[in-house]
Structure 1
Amino acid sequence: MSDWIDRLPQAARDFVAGRRLDEVECILADIAGVARGKAMPASKFARQEKFYLPNSIFLQTITGEWADNPAGAFTEPDMILTPDFSTATAAPWTADWTLQVIHDAYDQQGNPVPIAPRNVLKRIVGLYAERGWKPVVAPEMEFFLVARNIDPNQPIIPPMGRTGRRAAAKQAYSMSAVDEYGKVIDDIYDFAEAQGFEIDGILQEGGAGQVEINLNHGDPVALADEIFYFKRLIREAALRHDCFATFMAKPIEGEPGSAMHIHHSVIDVATGQNLFSDEKGRETPQFLHFIAGMQKHLPAAVALLAPYVNSYRRYVPDFAAPINLEWGRDNRTTGLRVPISSPEARRVENRLAGMDCNPYLGIAASLACGYLGLVEAENPRGECLGDAYMSSQDELPYNLGDALDIMAESAPMRSVLGEDFAAVYESVKRNEYKEFLQVISPWEREHLLLNV
């Protein structure tokens, strides 16, 4: 066992040092970003190089149903899953000493499974690499801590704070608001430290019980892995203190939604320089091309950035959510924001993605838009200097069905993501949308039952 232990990141080695490792969780993300896989005794994991799961896990919807297989026969062939030891990390909330390891999915001929979300992101990063570019991202994670909700028919409410009062809204950046659920935050920090993750900052957002965690910039695949792990980490920390953590885009009526803002820059591998800044620190044509690609192709990517019917409840005016494709410098009303930075750190922030998206697919879709912009070398429309919330342009889809239609009709987006993946994703999401449309809501019962 010592051979594979030596291949682990330092934080994982520190976690198991001097202890008897009990279990290893072998996992990968499905289309929704849910962890699928197997848990096994550490002694068994040490003796095997791979394990198997059926590729049908990528056809499972968020409700547990099975979508139609666009490839035809539903034979469920096994995939070969191999560990990426660089992703090994602690599961510090478990009763036993446990590690988690993300696995890569290959078919039986040794090819990456094209519908596996981590492979989709690797595909996009590979397209950049073929042109001598290295994308860099920095994600922001927003989520709500809420009271336990065990009856889906009941609305979600904020958690009880240490003062005995429910968390209050409109307290953005308040330190006392964060302190209300400080024990959860403490566990988040402790778990993150045990897992070797570096948090750039934690702050109170505008919603009741809404928190934002910022991560340092880095490699897109590594950051997607971290968000994948962080979602589980945060949920476990909340459960320790009698509340839930939710990454729904819009969990509470009347409150802001939760976004996963993604900051992007691109490095020229040959020179090590930021592609968005020239030698004198000025903005480059490639910087504008990247923004133009975002404006042109994001409508076809929204189905991945806003993957559920609930996601579109976030896209409403006056709730600090982007509902436009305008761009501007230091302008938080635009969907595409250029933050204040040094020339070396010049970047573009995509504010459209919801926190409910699969991090691999959200980052892949966003990078795909920028990549297409760099290749097409077009310029964006003029910078928005005012309040973009007042924009009258209607460029984005505002429901899942329309978003899927736009994605299906976009040959460039389907090409860069991979046709096989695009077909499976559309099948899964149309199945979920069909299920949702069969549910009668309280609003319908209240207003239509006796009035129409």
Structure 2
Amino acid sequence: MSKKKKARHSDSLAGVRGVESSEQASEWLEARGLEDIECIVPDMSGVARGKMMPVEKFVDGPNMSIPGSIFLQTITGDYPDDDDGFQIDPADGDIQLVPDFSTLSVVPWASDPTAQVIHDAYTQDGRPVDIAPRQLLRRVIDLYAHRGWRAIVAPEIEFYLVERNQDPDYPLKPPIGRSGRAESGRQSYSIAAVNEFDDLFDDIYDFSEAQGLEIDTLIHEEGAAQMEINLLHGDPLALADQVFLFKRTIREAALRHGMYATFMAKPIAGEPGSAMHIHQSVVDVKTGENIFSNAEGGPTKEFFSFIAGQQRYLPAVMCILAPYVNSYRRLMRKSVAPINVHWGYDNRTVGLRVPNSSPGARRVENRVPSSDANPYLAIAASLACGYLGMTLGHTPSEPIEGSAYNLEFGLPRGLLEAVALFEDCEELKDVFGRGFVETFRAIKQMEFEAFMRVISPWEREYLLLNV
């Protein structure tokens, strides 16, 4: 079941999204009477960084620069220490931000008429910043293009609605809906449970339409006030942009209604975690045909090798797909999340599901990533695994029938284990570049050290008076 809203602003200029040039951008901004513009770039955590400026200054073509260290910042705002593999620029020099005008849209929740545009990062001499998440995804897309392939993806993003919580020592709680009561029990696919937050979802749909973002379906997931939004399939970079913007949109809409929307992988103990499933297929650029299916409609060797690549390399990119210590709390037995990289046909207990489909829509659903992952990096990492499988000719295991939840763990159990696998994989260094691998590794190690400085309630509960 799904819930869809009819467009209510079909004649509005606001919903038109993206242009092709600076001249068209100037006309676009003037036609909408926009006063300010947010010049944003996604950092390693998927956080929007950048500058806000008057539209007049933006139109004049400013020299947009920003410290390169924005791509070194951890989620806590710290910076990793230098080591043998990673060196921070002691001068913290500037990089250039260049707008991608195809992403130009309004900011519908802003108090003043405001636009937004996503930027790409370049060095002072015009080279792409190779550790920038958006550039990393472009790098993987280019690998496919050099083979005559085009990857197609469709993300599904889960999130929780929770009461406002100003004290991080207190557990999160489901918010009060229009009935005046918080949810209790599991409400998977419940339309009534979605209707509890009708006004909020009206705003989400309106905000999305104003930005030119398309929602395929909205459903209630298994957890209390846990929702899922599915996006239409398409170009990996365009879909990563949409996930990036959807996260901002959903958070802003929730704040307007006095609650939080969180994309933490495991925000509430005892409730299911939140995932970002990625449906993936590959088409031949010349023919437009899905290379996972042959002329008779059966699966191809590329299809099986893509699965094999995911099986072989997903454990090594887990620090990207599950980037925080909290992410691994989701990947536990009996938690409706996968714990291994087995695959199966229409099997939701494995890490790699092949949904029922026509031959033209044959695809592989990666169910491993958590919703806290940076969408650019998660999509890049997932596609990179499939690419390596196809180009290196790997062979998958046999498909699993029945439950895979009781089989052995095939994924790292914690962040440090995942980081070590990532750093040791030479094939991934060839795909991502050693600079990105060492930078990401250093950031994750620094975040783990920050986590270790915090004493948890569990430790106070069971160790304080017993050890």
> Is this a same-fold pair by TM over 0.5?
yes
The structural deviation recorded for 1:25 is 0.3
Q: How does 1:254-273 map to 2 (within 5 A)?
A: 254-273=270-289
Tell me: CA distance 1:72–1:248, structure 2 relative to 1, closer, same or farther (3 Å). Answer: closer
CA distance in 2, matches of 1:58, 1:386: 43
CA distance in 1, matches of 2:146, 2:369: 26
Corresponding position of 1:38: 51
Structure 2: runs of 5+ lacking an equivalent: 1-16
Check conservation: 2:151, 2:235, Cα contact below 8 A. yes
The structural deviation recorded for 1:89 is 1.3
TM-score with structure 2 length normalisation?
0.93
Corresponding position of 2:3: none
Fraction of identical pairs, as percent = 55
1:383 and 2:396 aligned:
no
CA distance in 1, matches of 2:185, 2:121: 42
CA distance in 1, matches of 2:21, 2:177: 38
Check conservation: 2:19, 2:104, Cα contact below 8 A. no
Tell me: CA distance 1:381–1:125, structure 2 relative to 1, closer, same or farther (3 Å). Answer: same
Check conservation: 1:300, 1:410, Cα contact below 8 A. yes
Check conservation: 2:19, 2:102, Cα contact below 8 A. no
Corresponding position of 1:416: 431
Tell me: CA distance 1:168–1:80, structure 2 relative to 1, closer, same or farther (3 Å). Answer: same
Corresponding position of 1:78: 94
Corresponding position of 1:294: 310
1:177 and 2:193 aligned:
yes
Which residue of 435, 446, 451 corresponds with 1:431? 446
1:92-117 deviation per Cα after TM superposition (whole angstroms, max 9, x unaligned): 00011111100010001111000100
TM-score with structure 1 length normalisation?
0.96
CA distance in 2, matches of 1:29, 1:397: 26
CA distance in 1, matches of 2:265, 2:369: 9
Corresponding position of 1:118: 134
1:63-119 deviation per Cα after TM superposition (whole angstroms, max 9, x unaligned): 111112513542211101110000111110001111110001000111100010000
The structural deviation recorded for 1:36 is 0.2
Check conservation: 2:276, 2:369, Cα contact below 8 A. yes
1:253 and 2:269 aligned:
yes
The structural deviation recorded for 1:49 is 5.0
CA distance in 2, matches of 1:105, 1:113: 6
Tell me: CA distance 1:358–1:169, structure 2 relative to 1, closer, same or farther (3 Å). Answer: farther
CA distance in 2, matches of 1:410, 1:77: 30
1:288-335 deviation per Cα after TM superposition (whole angstroms, max 9, x unaligned): 000000000011010000000000000011121011111000000111
1:153-182 deviation per Cα after TM superposition (whole angstroms, max 9, x unaligned): 111000011111012341000000001111
CA distance in 2, matches of 1:375, 1:243: 47
CA distance in 2, matches of 1:72, 1:340: 48
CA distance in 1, matches of 2:27, 2:183: 37
Q: Which amino acid aligns with 1:24?
A: I
SS at match of 2:326: helix
1:403 and 2:405 aligned:
no
CA distance in 2, matches of 1:414, 1:169: 45
Which residue of 195, 199, 206 corresponds with 2:215? 199
Corresponding position of 2:162: 146
Corresponding position of 1:303: 319
Which residue of 317, 321, 326 corresponds with 2:342? 326
Check conservation: 1:289, 1:377, Cα contact below 8 A. yes
CA distance in 1, matches of 2:158, 2:32: 35
Corresponding position of 1:346: 362
Q: CA RMSD in A?
A: 1.8
Q: Which amino acid aligns with 1:60?
A: Q
CA distance in 2, matches of 1:95, 1:445: 44
CA distance in 1, matches of 2:280, 2:395: 17
1:244 and 2:260 aligned:
yes
Check conservation: 1:173, 1:203, Cα contact below 8 A. yes
Tell me: CA distance 1:342–1:13, structure 2 relative to 1, closer, same or farther (3 Å). Answer: farther
The structural deviation recorded for 1:7 is 3.8
Q: Which amino acid aligns with 1:266?
A: V
CA distance in 2, matches of 1:145, 1:72: 38
Tell me: CA distance 1:7–1:271, structure 2 relative to 1, closer, same or farther (3 Å). Answer: closer
1:447 and 2:462 aligned:
yes
CA distance in 2, matches of 1:178, 1:15: 36
The structural deviation recorded for 1:8 is 7.2
CA distance in 1, matches of 2:396, 2:169: 45
Over 6 Å off, 4+ runs: 12-15
SS at match of 1:261: strand
Tell me: CA distance 1:408–1:5, structure 2 relative to 1, closer, same or farther (3 Å). Answer: closer
Check conservation: 1:168, 1:209, Cα contact below 8 A. no
Corresponding position of 1:370: 386
Check conservation: 1:170, 1:207, Cα contact below 8 A. yes
Corresponding position of 1:57: 70
1:189 and 2:202 aligned:
no
The structural deviation recorded for 1:271 is 1.6
